[in-house]
Amino acid sequence: MRKLATKSLLSAPVAVISLSLAILLACGQSFDDIRELRTLVVSVLDLGEFELASSTFEQPLRLSPQVALNFPSDLGSAGSVTLLMQPTESLTQEHLFTVEVEQESNNSASGAQALPTTTVQVDGNISDSDAGSTVDGSTAEDFFSLSHGTTESRVAMLTSQLTTADFELLVLDAPGTTVLADSRSDEDGSSNESELVEYAAVAGETRLFAIDKVSSDSIDVGYHLSHWQLVMEVEPNDTTATAQSLNATGDLFHAIDGAAAAVDVGSSVSIEGDSKTVEDFYRVTVPRNALVAFALQMTSKPLLGDLDLYVVRSDTNELLGSSTIDQSSSSANVESFTVLLPADVEVFIFVDAVSGLSDYLLGIQVISEAFVTKPLLLLSGFEDPDEVPLFALSSECTSASFASADCKVQDNGLFSKLNEFSNVLNQSVGLDALSLLLPNNDVSFPLDDDKIVVAGDYGALFSGVYLDNATVDSEHTLTSEVKALVKKDNDINFGLLNINLYFVGNTVVDAATSESGVQRVDEILAGIDTIYAQVGIELGEVKRFNLTTAAADSLGIDFELTDAESITLLFENIQREEGVMNIFLVESFSIPGVVGLSLGIPGLPVVEGFPTSAAIFAMLTPIDQQSGTELNILKRIIAHEIGHYLGLYHPTESDGEEFDPLTDTAQCGTENDANGDGFVTHSECTDKGAENLMFWVLPDNNNDINNIDGITLSEQQGFVMQVNHYVR
Amino acid sequence: MLRRSLLLLLIICSLLAVSPPLRSQSGDLRQRIMLLLTAYHPQFSAQDWQQLGEDAPLVMMAMVDELVEVRSWQLRLLDGLKYFAQKEVIAFLEGIADGTGDSLLRRQAVSSLVFMRGSEEIPRLQRLLSQASSQNDWRLRARILQELVDLGDESGLRLVTQHLRQESSAIVRSRTQRLLQQRFRRFGSSPR
């Protein structure tokens, strides 16, 4: 059912919508008819202009100002925020822009880190001392510089003194242009624990330390809470990136002496150990669910350094508990925690010498009486270093990321479009603007139980690089305008997509407006409707326009998809309409054999002052003369590009090595490349995602091409598109 | 036209004459070629085409005539053939470019030939330009002029400016002038 009655209201303010609701009710409309008059508000926020320093690939990141975003609490399940960035000058070199977004109160999953560096402050110098030195700070952002006398690996540690704020530590080169190391991958979004950053100190070179308060709490709780402490220390035990990995061998491994011991409910066991070999390992089997308390106490005198205790599930690498949240960075006091150990699993316990060397006492007590009927069996340590399982840390994992379930280290996400929080736009289409849809998946973006974006403050970091072979003026900066389009919508199960369909040039117009041409266009639209109905999206109003000016005639032949001027000229021929997707049908493209392209993933919204975007298709054969197969190809390609336009990536790329970030789209990896040609083909990926609308390639035979009913979309793909501002 | 028909006959005979295992290879080759035709976003490199092997051009040329129902596939085939600088391929493309058939395919054949032979193609472009003088041929003229501008060869650019004085189509004139302006913005010189 098409519900055209409300289409013209979509961009209207709430008051108008409310008024219309009242009118419709008065006219006796059924509730079903008016359900799309749900709370739907679209507003554009002007976030101001920011200076973006460009850089080269050799020096890929310059810090751009933080752009503060707020996700309102009434965003709704289909609500979203689309970020838009546009340089205020025309770019003469090809750029790659990146925007990364993070939740300010929790940096857990994002590699992004917004750095408020409008003014670089250097409040003081930290002394370079092996014994370590501390500096207290109290501002949201502070910067310190440190000249190093020696070349060695160093670890900087940042400890928040209060639990309500989160701070991040970044180590940069002296001009502050390149982030050398950072603590952005800390897991719990809090600086309760120490955040460690390992970096390479070079004799005679200066490093800049940036302390960034990223928590959103400061406004509520007051400035005085924003305290941090920076501790510089040389860590004798953790001098390499893999120092804390568990696949240590040789001298680093230390087998634990002692016989196996059984621990009954209510009982405890103590183990004396020493950390002289950096890490000690124990393993425990758990017959039943058991609430177990662990305690670790340093016993050497004098008390030096810090020991930490970890409990990890051996089968999933899940960190069940740890004592790393101790605030003193010392194990002088007992570090303890209680965890519920699941039944029938093996857990590993390891004592890690973070700094210093010490004897210790490890206490384990089974405190639950409800579940445990059998004793908890404590086994001895491993006798053979080769026996130590590679359970937790793969080679690329570091201690900082240990607690994440998949132990995935996030880099700064600069060049990966699949980074869940970031978006990269190659500006070759020349529109010189970037948009980022948030959320762009429902897997890793911070969503609450109702799958609505967690309300609160977020930060966005914009950066850019020149692409290869560009002549770069390293001092050149770009000023960019940044806007946010906020869509509040509470119906995730249904949405309408309105389209303005432009036929460009006389040949296309003649073909598309002939009797059979009109039928063919109707058939294409019906096919698209069928495909998208799977995820609750219907085509709403589709308006058809004929562009028959001389300019349109000229543009429509061998259209230059990569030419900004051509695209701009197209838009000069149309009337822009907010919330309506533009589709152009031209006669041919200059790029051979291309049938369609979405200008952006997702397509830019139509916002005043910004270049708008579209999906453009080439008819090639007059539409009223196309064969059934050719028409179905066009149908598939238009549906596919609409998917891109609404924010979808290919679930599997051609090489079988890149995938979209969604978890319910099948992946077809390189193992399926039966003929070894470097491509995973449609037939090689049958039942492994080939049937998905967004698979990278069409079927290779007419039967499958013509089977439009076999095209699928996943639930999560539906989510991505439902939150898109074009779907309302 | 006759030359093209003979060439096609030769191709078809060659394909029919192959032994069964070779025919099976040909089937596999066709499938690999189809992959390059059916990608949503064709961004294939010369290497992607060339690694299809030396038998590929014969099969591709046959497919151009076979796959008439899908124009985008024909265009991609003609584009892919430019990476095989073989006598038969050049003759095949010349047959299409010089023919009187489909304008879209002719335009692509012209582009592929220019890619393969560069400035050596200028005499043909000049001839085609004078032959394609009817109002209906303006698309082909526009493409030829575009190729000449992109080539950047001095004699080619002179040909463009000479032709523009007599070009009857306003569309062709405006498109070409825009291309010239873009080129001169890039290289900072104007044609003599």
- Whether B4 maps to a domain, the answer reads yes
In a shared domain, residues B105 and B70: no
Mean pLDDT to the nearest integer, B65-74: 93
DSSP conformation letters of A611-660: ----EEEE-SS-GGG--HHHHHHHHHHHHHHHHHHTTPPPSB-TTSS-B-
Instruction: Judge contact between A658 and A694, C-beta under 8 A.
Output: no
pLDDT in tens, B159-180: 999 999 999 888 899 889 888 8
Q: CA-to-CA distance for B102 and B92, rounded, in angstroms?
A: 15
Under an 8 A CB cutoff, do A629 and B139 touch?
no
Do the domains spanning A122-233 and A250-401 agree at the CATH topology level?
A: yes
- Whether B7 maps to a domain, the answer reads yes
Which segment of A247-261, A391-405, B134-148 scores lowest on mean pLDDT?
Answer: A391-405
What residues of B are in contact with residue A558 (Cβ under 8 Å)?
107, 139, 142-143, 146
The label of the residue with tokens 């210790």 reads: A360
In a shared domain, residues B69 and B138: no
In a shared domain, residues B140 and B181: yes
Provide the pLDDT for residue B23: 40
Confidence bin at B124 (pLDDT 50/70/90) = very high
Report the CATH number of the A495-723 domain.
3.40.390.10
In a shared domain, residues B30 and B112: no
Choosing from B29, B54, B85, the residue where a domain stops is B85
Q: Which residues contact A508 (CB under 8 A, 6 or more apart)?
A: A556, A585, A586, A587, A619, A622, A623
In eight-state DSSP terms, residue A130 is T
In a shared domain, residues B161 and B126: yes
In a shared domain, residues B106 and B189: yes
Q: CA-to-CA distance for A391 and B82, rounded, in angstroms?
A: 52
Nearest chain B residue to A699 by CA: give it.
Answer: B38
Mean pLDDT to the nearest integer, B90-97: 96
User: β-strand A581-586 against A495-504: which pairing, if any?
Assistant: parallel
Q: Is the dihedral of CA A531, A535, A540, A546 positive or negative?
A: negative
Under an 8 A CB cutoff, do A554 and B42 touch?
no
**Does residue A382 register a pLDDT over 60?**
no
- Whether B94 maps to a domain, the answer reads no
Sheet holding A40-53, edge to edge: A40-53, A477-489, A80-87, A434-438
In a shared domain, residues B110 and B78: no
Tokens of B136: 């209906």
In a shared domain, residues B141 and B111: yes
Domain count, chain B: 2
In a shared domain, residues B50 and B115: no
- Whether B108 maps to a domain, the answer reads yes
Nearest chain A residue to B170 by CA: give it.
Answer: A550
Q: CA-to-CA distance for A497 and A54, rounded, in angstroms?
A: 37
- Whether B59 maps to a domain, the answer reads yes
pLDDT in tens, A459-490: 666 655 555 555 555 555 666 777 888 888 88
pLDDT in tens, A51-100: 554 443 333 333 344 566 777 888 888 888 887 777 676 665 555 565 65
Under an 8 A CB cutoff, do A550 and B170 touch?
yes
Distance from CA of B63 to the nearest CA of A (A): 14
Which segment of A104-108, A121-125, A526-530 scores lowest on mean pLDDT?
Answer: A121-125
Mean pLDDT to the nearest integer, A513-528: 96
Among the four given CATH numbers 3.10.310.30, 2.60.120.380, 1.20.1250.20, 3.40.50.720, the one describing domain A38-112+417-489: 2.60.120.380
Domain definitions of chain A by residue range: 38-112+417-489, 122-233, 250-401, 495-723
Instruction: Judge contact between A263 and A177, C-beta under 8 A.
Output: no
- Determine the structural domain holding residue B28 and report its residue range: 1-85
**Does residue A619 register a pLDDT over 90?**
yes
Distance from CA of B5 to the nearest CA of A (A): 24
User: What is the value of ipTM here, to two decimals?
Assistant: 0.85
State phi, psi for A624 to the nearest 5 degrees. -80, 0
- Whether B91 maps to a domain, the answer reads no
A250-401: CATH class: mainly beta
In a shared domain, residues B105 and B53: no
Integer distance in angstroms from the first to the last C-alpha of chain B?
37
Mapping DSSP to helix (H, G, I), strand (E, B) and coil, where does residue B143 land?
helix
Under an 8 A CB cutoff, do B71 and A565 touch?
no
Report the CATH number of the A122-233 domain.
2.60.120.380
Question: Is the minimum CB–CB distance between A588 and chain B shorter than 8 Å?
Answer: yes
> Which of B25, B30, B40 is best to mutate for the A interface (most A CBs within 10 A)?
B40
Distance from CA of A282 to the nearest CA of B (A): 53
The label of the residue with tokens 């005539």 reads: B65
Mapping DSSP to helix (H, G, I), strand (E, B) and coil, where does residue A395 land?
coil
In a shared domain, residues B26 and B113: no
Of A675, A677, A697, the CB nearest to B38: A697
Does residue A348 come out as left (phi exceeding 0), alpha (psi in the -120 to 50 range) or beta?
A: beta
Of A592, A627, A682, the CB nearest to B75: A592
Provide the pLDDT for residue A649: 87
Which range of A10-14, A376-380, A668-672 scores highest in mean pLDDT? It is: A668-672
In a shared domain, residues B72 and B143: no
Interface of B with A (CB under 8 A): 28, 31-32, 34-35, 37-42, 51, 69-73, 75-76, 78-79, 104, 107-108, 111, 139, 142-143, 146, 170-171, 174-175, 178, 182
Under an 8 A CB cutoff, do A627 and B69 touch?
yes
Extract the runs of DSSP E, i.e. beta strands, from A16-91: 40-53, 66-71, 80-87
